[in-house]
Structure 1
């Protein structure tokens, strides 16, 4: 699945409500990057954003509420899936997008902070799940297109293909703490594509 290419709150001009939301989400991401989820406080976000504490508490309610809205915004800012005309190019574009996001000094740290938060905070876990589900569903479309072109077997589960592309990259990022490199991304694409072509991602009900 691909990732957003911008910080939250840096686009979307609008009225005062939009500007307040943008400032608060930008401050939330700043705090996550610098301090992590467990030191994220409503008061500090309000001060950093230049917004009254009452407004922040009333609208977002808790640090988990801030993280949920931040993840929604990052999902909204994410680019649509690639359309290179072939499944190999599309999957490579997905892997490179994930690679670039995870190695980004701001986005990569943001994801690590929210992933860490999700292990012990249920609202943060739900926000993380919703974010990745949206991105998986978006990129699963490239697999459906490949099936329609005859590049992959009928019944191939697009969501599982996209998960398989990203899984080795995230494992290195948050479990083994190894570098996430272009070589790792390319290997993930090659292995996933070989498995998909062999029918490894065809759902049980679609076989035969």
Structure 2
């Protein structure tokens, strides 16, 4: 069995001992984030910091301008938490420690995209938008996510990839300062509150012979 450690660039960059430490855990593979959502992460062994706050979803490498030029939906670059080609720098250090590096790509989870382009988000039956959840049924959103997967997955030196969040993110998925965890909706309620009723999905229900208004 081959074990892997899931790693962020900020775990490695700026810490000369990180690669050897991870390899010393007995894992053969490092699954390294190349596109990731907003998060707050602990880095207890890093010599420069203990908490890293990624303020918004971003790619952790320089995106290809030729691919994204002129497009409404395009990946955001990271701030100071992963500047420049943070992925490439970390991947090189991990490979030098003898680890097989795979990319870790988060796709349909992007609160900043939902805030700037509300029409891309999942909409529940009551008209509430889930800003953290791009609706993958929408052609423009799906095209953006497919191209993001293509670009972020095949970073130089990557031996494989882990693709995360390929479908609709419903109500249970955590959002910033989430306050819904204590409300038990049950399996049926959770499922129903996760259905999307954006324009594209309403058309999809109609194509299946269903009336979206009656469903809502």
Bin of the TM-score, shorter chain as denominator length: 0.3 to 0.5
The structure with the largest helix share of the pair is 1
Q: Which structure is richer in relative contact order (CA contacts within 8 A, separation 6 or more)? A: 1
Q: TM-score, normalised by structure 2?
A: 0.32
Greater share of residues in strand: 2
